[in-house]
A and B are shown apart, each in its own frame.
Chain A
């Protein structure tokens, strides 16, 4: 069975500050990893994904995540956040057969001026 742990339920941060949202997973098989974002009153959107290759993956809006197999982590980082990054972020894992996604409990990022 797979599981995902997002220890931080809420992360408050000031605009232009760096942020890291933590994600750890557990799996007995090889996995693919994802970060989804849900902006207020919207659905889930894929932010970035790790399937294979380079362990550092980037999104178009400045977020990045690094797959660390030894630490079973896939933390999400951004060097300078904007007000518009305020949203809930979900880490998810699936096996390499692309079956069901297993999600963490989500981290609410609150960016204030």
Chain B
């Protein structure tokens, strides 16, 4: 069974450009999470989908970030326009279960975003 996959693994963009990160969760997992680690600090929660609905988006830093999960399968996280402080590693995770978040979260390898 395939794990959580993220594309691209690395992305280098200029300030002001747009970048879209993609996450394919484990098949059948209703819960999908985005997290971010900036400059060696703690891994911080961004948002949580249950199927196609946003359950919790309290961690989204500002309106330059837009997450979608059309059809309840894969998810995209768009940053537009990107700023220098958006650099970091973006992790996606998925878990089984219903609206309460399921159980063990399985993580992808992350996308390393560098804004120059």
Give residues in A with beta carbon < 8 Å to B.
4, 36, 42-46, 49, 90, 92, 94, 97-106
Contacts and interface: CB of A to CB of B under 8 A. Distances in A.
B23 to A, nearest CB: 12
B95 A100 contact: no
Contacts of B101: 94, 97-100
Interface in B41-63: 41-45, 48, 55-56, 59
B107 A43 contact: yes
A45 B56 contact: no
Contacts of B33: 100-101
B11 interface: no
Contacts, number: 59
Contact of B45 (A36, A101, A105, A106): A101
Interface in B82-116: 91, 93, 95, 97, 100-110
